[in-house]
Structure 1
Amino acid sequence: MNWKNIKLIFIKELVGTVRDKRTIIAMIIIPLIFYPILFMGIGYFNQMGNEKSEEAISKIIIIGAEFSPPLLKYFQNNPKIEILSIPNNPLLKLQKGEVQLILIIPSDFKDRIEEGESGPLILKYDATETKSRIAQKRINQAIAEYEKEIISQRLSMMHLKEEFIRPLILQTENVASPQKVTGSLLGVLLPYLIVILIFVGAMHTAVDITAGEKERGTITTLLVSQINRLEIVLGKCFAVMLISFISMVLGLIGLTLAFLSGTSIMGGIEGVEFGISFSTIFLLFLVLLPLVGLASAVLIMVGIFARNIKEASSYITPIYMLTIFLGVISISQGIELSGKMFLVPVLNSSFVFKEILMGKIYWSHIITTFSANMVIATLALLGATRLFTKEEVLFRS
């Protein structure tokens, strides 16, 4: 194996890729411009929607308001609550969204409260509607204030202090450092984004320099050269790895700018210090390199097998969907990998990324993940090389 030949193929593919405007758009424009605008836009409209929902007046219907005038005053004193007259079919109004909540007060509510018993209340709302959930929260707050008043009156009648029913005072203190809080926050979303960015960055280039060359007929130039097939595949794979890595880094930079802007879906988070130590970056890179190689090798193999770009895209789609599925598993709360599960590609990297960002360094997990991904990437490269030696695969129509 001649590394000069591999370098020659590597440079050739890089030059060809850089000349392609579509690659520049996919590698630079989308990560640095589109991603920040997308996340900032999502955060802006989400924030604007929440503010409008919080500012909106909650329209409620109270059935049996005459059975508890003191409770009714708490609702009337809240400027964000509007009490409507009772229509013929209040439940239908709630289902249509014309009112946000229905509160039913039984006829014996007042007597129960005066006798020192518990007074039942029935609250109906639509959990699928934001305004209805906000109305439920406001009503619960008013009921809690009224309940506190009743408790205070009952304790006063018995000449007891409020501390009598609250014998314990619990003081909580979060000992997690801002860096650990940051790692925990990043560990939820960042591994998923890294995996997606790696595959997105590699897909276009991998297909173009394999299936694209077959479609354009330029692959015959390589085949008649004195460079052996393994050197050609390695040169192409290294080029895809570099493009994928650069695209992923630029994507993370774009997302970081969006997160720190204060208008993204993660903006304005308090108690968080964005910053990663050199040792953490080294460990992330150690796990990241085999994953980039794995993605590039698999996509190169698929591109070599496909007849043209269209067919390659159809093969890559289920692979990409599987990648997304494995990434989604990594962000699921409460799920932990153990034993042989760290041999599953993509899934193992996502969980190790998460562990490293949270400050949990398990060398057994890192070594297993690194080794498993390297072995699978090597097998994919050998498979791509084997396909590259078969004329019936390279020239089939």
Structure 2
Amino acid sequence: MSWKNIKLIFIKELVGTIRDKRTIIAMIIIPLIFYPLLFAGIGYFSKVGSIKSEEAASKIIILGAKFAPQLVKHLQDYEKIEILIIEDDSPNKLQNGDIQAVLVIPSDFKYKIGQEEPNKLILKYDATEAKSRIAQKRIYQIIEEYKSEIILQRLSRLGLQEEFLTPLILQEENIATAEKITGSFLAVLLPYLIIILIFTGAMHTAVDITAGEKERGTIATLLVSQISRLEIVLGKCFAVMLISFTSMVLGLFGLTLAFLSGASIAGGVEGVQFGISVNTVFLLFLVLFPLVGLASAVLVMVGIFARNIREASSYITPIYMLTIFLGIISISQGMELTG
């Protein structure tokens, strides 16, 4: 085996890949520009939508409002709740999004309050709609406040203080540092991002220099030369590895810019601070080298086995889905890797 021949094949494939505009788009444009814009755009529009939903008033219907005038007054005093008092359940209005919630008050509500008996209120909302979930939280908060007032009144009549109902107070303290929160956050995202970046950077090149050369008929020239088939395969694998690794690095750099800008989804995660040491970056790359090598070898093998580009693409798709599935398993709740 001659490293000179391997280097020759490596340079040949690398130069040919760089000359291909599609490879440049897949290796530079998509990771460095498209991914940051995509994540920043998703984060921006998510924040805008969330702010609009929080600021908008919740339209609700109260059935049986006359049975609980004090509760209705509490709801009316809340500026972000608009009450429609009608005696019609109107399920279609809730399903169509015309209203965000329906509160049903029983006819014996006032009587049971006077008798100090438990009451049952029914709150109907659509858990699949963000505005309806916000309305549910607002109504729940107001009802809890109203319930606290009733409890205080009953305690006052009995000559008891509010502390009578709170014998224990649980104070929670989160010992996780900002760095640990960041690590936990990245542990969820990085497997997906790295797998996607590695495969998107390597797929086109691996298929083009194997199955693509079969279609063009240029592979025969290499096979009749003095270079052994092992040297040809190694040269092609090293070229795919370099392209894949470069694409991954550029992609991670672009996504880091998106996260640091504060406009992406990560910008809205409380306690997340991005600060990775040089040692961490070194260890990350050290771990990724075998993964890049494995992905490149598998893709080159598939490309050699396939008769044309279309067949190679059909083989690569299930492999790509399998790697994502393995990434999902690795970050599943309750799963811990032990050595």
TM-score using structure 1 length: 0.82
Worse-matched range after superposition: 21-30 or 171-180: 171-180
User: In 1, Cα distance between the equivalents of 2:261 and 2:166?
Assistant: 43
Residue 192 in structure 1 maps to residue 217 in structure 2: no
Structure 2 SS opposite 1:27 = helix
Structure 1 SS opposite 2:78 = coil
Q: What is the CA deviation profile of residues 93-127 of structure 1, one whole-angstrom value per residue up to 9, with x for unaligned ones?
A: 22222221111111111121222222111111111
| 2:64–2:87 CA contact under 8 A, matched in 1 | no
User: In 2, Cα distance between the equivalents of 1:162 and 1:30?
Assistant: 61
> Cα offset for 1:333?
2.7
**Equivalent residue, structure 2, for 1:249:** 249
Residue 52 in structure 1 maps to residue 36 in structure 2: no
For residue 223 of structure 1, what is the amino acid of its counterpart? L
Structure 2 SS opposite 1:267 = helix
User: In 1, Cα distance between the equivalents of 2:284 and 2:120?
Assistant: 56
Structure 1 SS opposite 2:244 = helix
Residue 10 in structure 1 maps to residue 27 in structure 2: no
**Equivalent residue, structure 2, for 1:294:** 294
Q: What is the CA deviation profile of residues 40-79 of structure 1, one whole-angstrom value per residue up to 9, with x for unaligned ones?
A: 1111111111122112221111111111111111110011
| 1:192–1:331 CA contact under 8 A, matched in 2 | no
For residue 118 of structure 1, what is the amino acid of its counterpart? P
Within-5 A mapping of 1:326-365: 326-337=326-337, 364=339
Structure 1 SS opposite 2:173 = coil
Unaligned runs of 5+ residues in structure 2 are: none
> Cα offset for 1:204?
0.5
For residue 85 of structure 1, what is the amino acid of its counterpart? I
User: In 1, Cα distance between the equivalents of 2:108 and 2:138?
Assistant: 24
User: In 2, Cα distance between the equivalents of 1:37 and 1:104?
Assistant: 46
| 1:110–1:119 CA contact under 8 A, matched in 2 | no
> Cα offset for 1:218?
1.3
**Equivalent residue, structure 2, for 1:223:** 223
**Equivalent residue, structure 1, for 2:30:** 30
User: In 1, Cα distance between the equivalents of 2:88 and 2:124?
Assistant: 16
For residue 288 of structure 2, what is the amino acid of its counterpart? L
Q: What is the CA deviation profile of residues 162-186 of structure 1, one whole-angstrom value per residue up to 9, with x for unaligned ones?
A: 1111112222222222211110111
Q: What is the CA deviation profile of residues 195-224 of structure 1, one whole-angstrom value per residue up to 9, with x for unaligned ones?
A: 121111110110011111111111122112
Q: What is the CA deviation profile of residues 266-305 of structure 1, one whole-angstrom value per residue up to 9, with x for unaligned ones?
A: 1143433312234433432332111111111111011111
User: In 1, Cα distance between the equivalents of 2:87 and 2:161?
Assistant: 44
Greater relative contact order structure (CA < 8 Å, 6+ sep):
2
Percent identity between the two aligned chains = 76
> Cα offset for 1:337?
4.7
CA RMSD of aligned residues (A): 1.6
> Cα offset for 1:160?
1.6
For residue 163 of structure 2, what is the amino acid of its counterpart? E
| 1:192–1:330 CA contact under 8 A, matched in 2 | no
Structure 2 SS opposite 1:266 = helix
> Cα offset for 1:88?
4.2
Within-5 A mapping of 1:1-397: 1-86=1-86, 88-337=88-337, 364=339
User: In 1, Cα distance between the equivalents of 2:63 and 2:87?
Assistant: 10
Unaligned runs of 5+ residues in structure 1 are: 339-363, 365-397
